[in-house]
Amino acid sequence: MILTIDVGNTRIKGAVFEQDIALEYYVFSNIEIQKNIEIILKKYPNITHLIVASVRNIEKKVFLDFENKLKVWFISHDDLFPFTNEYSTPKTLGIDRMVLAAGATLLYPKQNRLVIDAGTCVTYDFVDQNDVYHGGAISPGLRLRYESLHHYTEKLPLLTLENSNYFIGKSTAESIHSGVVNGLVYEINGFVDEYRAQYANFIIILTGGDTDFLAKRLKNTIFANSNFLLESLNQIFQYKIKND
C-alpha cells in the first residue's frame, strides 16, 4: 500500500493505492501537509511507501520526517522512466510532465498519447506509439488568464471562473469570461486537431484542476481524469518495482 503526493503550483493532492486500486483521494493545504499525512497513516497503517512529485521548492523535511515509518521516494530526473526522452533540454522538463507522460505510456501502450494538464498552466505532452517522448507546449491556465487581464490593464476587473457559457459578451465581465474560456477551449481543440492530423491510433488524456469544467466544452473525444497524475505516480512505483 502506498501514498502518492502531488505538490502542484497552487495545491497539494494525495491518494492511497493498494496495487492498482485507488482507495481514497485528498487535497491538502500547504500548512497542514504533515498533519494530513499523519491522519492518513493512522487510517491506513499498512502504507509502506510515500511517493512525492513536486513542481515547487517545498522543504523535503516535511516528508522525510516520516522515514521512521515508511520509505520516502522523491521522483527526479534521474529515475527510470518508461519512455525515451527526446526533449532537447531534459533536465528542464517539469517532473509533473514526466510523470504524466510515464502514466500515459504505461496505461495506454502502443498508442500515440497526448496528455493535457489544465491547471495553473496548461501543459501538452506527447508520447508516440513507440514510447518516445517528443515534448509539447505550455500556456497560461484559466486563472492566470483572468489575473493577467487584471494586472496588466488599468480598468479590467479581476474575475473568477464561473460556470456560464458566454460567446458574445454583452458587458465587460461577460466579454472577459468569453475571451478567457473560449480562448482556452479553442486553443485545446486546435492543438488536438493538429495532432490528430499527423498521428493515427491516438488517445487524449485531460487532467488537472480544471478538467471537469473544460471537458464538457471540448469537441474532441477525450479521457477526462483529474487525478491522472496521482495514478501515474502509482504506475511509476509499480514500474520501478518490476525493473529494479
Q: Which residues are known catalytic residues?
A: 96
Alpha helices (H) along 108-171: 142-151
* CA distances (Å), origin 211, targets 88, 98, 161, 219: 29, 19, 13, 14
C-alpha–C-alpha distance, residues 75 and 71, integer Å:
13
Interhelix angle 142-151/183-198, nearest 10 degrees: 130
Please provide the size of the chain in residues.
Answer: 244
- Residue 221 corresponds to which cell in the numbers above? 473525444
Measured CA to CA, the distance from residue 96 to residue 6 in angstroms comes to 8
Q: Measured over all CA atoms, what is the biggest interatomic distance in the chain, rounded to whole angstroms?
A: 60
Helices 228-243 and 95-107 pack at an angle, to 10 degrees, of 70
Q: Which three cell numbers stand for residue 152?
A: 496588466
The residue type at 120: T
- DSSP class of residue 159 equals -
C-alpha cell at 39: 491522519
Separation in Å, CA 37 to CA 15, 63, 243? 10, 9, 28
